[in-house]
Amino acid sequence: MDLFEYQGKLFFSRYGIPISAGEVAFTVDEAVAAAERLGCPVVVKAQVLTGGRGKAGGVKVANSVDEVRTHAGNILGLDIKGHVVGRLWIEQASDIAREYYASFTLDRSAKQHLGMLSAQGGVDIEEVAATDPDAIAKIHVDPVEGLTEARCREWVAAANLDPEAVQGAVDILVKLYEAYVDGDADLCEINPLILTTDGVVKALDAKVTVDANAVFRHPDYEEYDAIQHRDERETAAHDKGLQYVGLDGTVGIIANGAGLAMSTVDIVSQVGGTPANFLDIGGGANADVMAGALEVINNDPKVQSIFINIFGGITKGEEVANGIIAALGRVQIDAPIVIRLDGTNAELGRELLQPHLSETLQMQPTMIEAARTAVALAEGTK
């Protein structure tokens, strides 16, 4: 789950990482009141879960309360890559001398945490990595051993930060690692980490992603679930507890298991169609889950046909078939459906489905045949 910048900063500050004084604002009046308390100049920053805010006009310096009013009015409601700005972070402006980059994330293949530090911050770090890889000092941290201050000091030296920034950076990196581990974060990134003209090192931005699987250790993370960027279809699926990802095509997809669902998306594309979504209904295929899945797909106006792809393992074919039949009885489906049922007792399941088949409810023996039929139906109804 991604956090807004201000949530990330508040998270950092709980671990003692210095940030600029600031307040969150949901309205222009709140922004103005915050600026009055903080004292101008302030920076008015759009809070969105996407990059490129600055270029889109979502970050503005205001030298007076009047300017805060103007900028806040312009930025609230702004559409940045499909993310509409609903809240602002108003913070005291900083006099920046140097911009650095610091982050912790998990290196999956090394099975260790990876820290990255660069004297070239404030820009796209992937570009730095591509053009000047030596400019990024990397360290691997064993999760069991943790990170000592002494190692941080060596790391900062390797990154060639300015001498006056060294102590501040070491302090922050020790705390950042603590926040990253203690907070069950997938990513803690500060870009830029700044050195101010008066010699203070602090986090000017915060990009934090926390592990949704760790909510049981952090009940307060529930609030982040509500701000995740989802379209209408994804919200509906999320509310039903379904694994759904919205795509742009016309063939609605329901499958059991993430791998099979992904594979179904692939095969629809391979035969020339466009998948409308990825939807994994999990191991079984009972009527409740199937009905919920069909409702979500049915509400997608772009869907012209539906491909239900089920492989029965422990769940037997006849149980799957009965689940589908019951679900179809509950939901009025607009688009034609193609079913592919295979695996344990598939023949029994197919026999049960047979009497229900029609122009709008078809069955195919293989994945590829079912995909072809679903794509043809989607195109025929355009």
Partner 1 sequence: MSIFVDENTKVVYQGLTGSQGRYYGLLNREYGTQVVAGTNPKKAGEDIEGIPIFATVGDAVAATGANASCIFIPAPGVKAAVMDAAEGGVEFIVVITEGVPAHDEAFYNRLKRDFPGVQLLGPNCPGIISPGRCNIGITAGHIAKPGGPVGIVSRSGTLTYQALYELQQKGIGVTTCVGIGGDPVPGTTFIDCLERFEADPETKAIMMFGEIGGSAEEEAAAFIQAHVTKPVVSYIAGVTAPPGKKMGHAGAIISGGKGTADAKMDALRAAGVKVGLNPTEAGELMAGIVAGL
So which residues are the catalytic ones?
101, 189
Q: Which amino acid is at 168?
A: G
Half-sphere exposure of 21 (CA within 13 A, CB side): 10
How would you classify the pairing of strands 277-280 and 243-246?
antiparallel
Q: How is residue 101 annotated by DSSP?
A: E
What is the rounded distance in angstroms from the CA atom of residue 63 to the CA atom of residue 43?
9
Q: Are 315 and 344 in contact (CB under 8 A)?
A: yes
How would you classify the pairing of strands 83-84 and 305-312?
unpaired
The reply on whether position 286 binds partner 1 by CB under 8 A is: no
Task: Give the one residue of 56, 367, 370, 378 binding partner 1; rule: CB under 8 A.
Answer: 367
Percent helix, strand, coil in the chain, to 5, is 40, 25, 30
Ranges within 228-247 binding partner 1 (CB under 8 A): 243, 245, 247
Shortest Å, Cβ 355 to partner 1: 26
Task: Give the one residue of 70, 74, 92, 112 binding partner 1; rule: CB under 8 A.
Answer: 112
Task: Give the one residue of 131, 163, 314, 332 binding partner 1; rule: CB under 8 A.
Answer: 314
What is the rounded distance in angstroms from the CA atom of residue 277 to the CA atom of residue 242?
12
The reply on whether position 261 binds partner 1 by CB under 8 A is: yes
Shortest Å, Cβ 15 to partner 1: 16
The reply on whether position 301 binds partner 1 by CB under 8 A is: no
Residues near partner 1 (CB under 8 A), total:
49
Residue 358 neighbours by CB under 8 Å, 6+ apart: none
The reply on whether position 198 binds partner 1 by CB under 8 A is: no
What is the rounded distance in angstroms from the CA atom of residue 221 to the CA atom of residue 8?
12
Task: Give the one residue of 40, 97, 214, 348 binding partner 1; rule: CB under 8 A.
Answer: 214
What is the rounded distance in angstroms from the CA atom of residue 122 to the CA atom of residue 256?
43
Task: Give the one residue of 45, 60, 113, 202 binding partner 1; rule: CB under 8 A.
Answer: 113
Q: Candidates 88-96, 168-176, 327-335, 364-372: pick the segment binding partner 1 (CB under 8 A).
A: 364-372
What is the rounded distance in angstroms from the CA atom of residue 259 to the CA atom of residue 254?
12
| Site map 39..78 versus partner 1, x via CB under 8 A | ----------------------------------------
183 vs 192, beta carbon nearer partner 1:
183
Q: Are 257 and 283 in contact (CB under 8 A)?
A: yes
Q: How far apart are the first and last CA of the chain?
A: 37
Shortest Å, Cβ 163 to partner 1: 33
Q: Which residues of the shown chain bind partner 1 in the complex (CB under 8 A)?
A: 106, 108-109, 111-113, 126, 142-144, 181, 184, 186, 211, 213-214, 216-217, 243, 245, 247, 255-263, 265-267, 269-270, 275, 278, 280, 283, 311-314, 342-344, 366-368
